[in-house]
Amino acid sequence: MSIEKAEDSYSWENVLSFDRLKRAVLNRVLERLDMMFQQGKPVNSEQINDAISDEWQKVKQAVRISPAAREAAHRHMEHIVIEQVDKLIQQDREELESLGVVEKSL
């Protein structure tokens, strides 16, 4: 499963750990800089920083749309919803009990 366009894609496996993420970004940046160097273009600090920044944005986007990110976001949202519903239950407990709501169903 690839993320983004084919030539710019990061597979979700590339963003599973910081080690893999670091290697993937390093390889992409070095490839880009090597191509510039082979084309006879001088490579300066600004170009290196631009290449790093560009790849960093791409990998962050890949992380955001990865299956692991979706799962983590789902767990986070579930936790927030459960907390809010628990507060509402406590707030309206007496009223709900008077209407027949019991602690546990059969």
Domain hosting residue 5, numbered range: 1-65
| Whether residue 79 is found in the same domain as residue 53 | no
Residue 106 included in any domain: no
Name beta bridge partners: 10: 3
CA 106/CA 98 separation, integer angstroms: 19
Backbone φ and ψ for 42, nearest 5 degrees, come out as: -70, 145
Mind listing the pLDDT tens digit for each residue in 7-33?
577 887 888 889 999 999 999 999 999
Q: Is 4 helix (H, G, I), strand (E, B) or coil?
A: coil
| Whether residue 13 is found in the same domain as residue 37 | yes
Q: What is the pTM of this model?
A: 0.63
CA 96/CA 106 separation, integer angstroms: 18
| Whether residue 48 is found in the same domain as residue 14 | yes
Residue 5 included in any domain: yes
Say how many domains are in the chain.
Answer: 2
Query: Sorting pLDDT into bands at 50, 70 and 90, what band is 3?
Result: very low
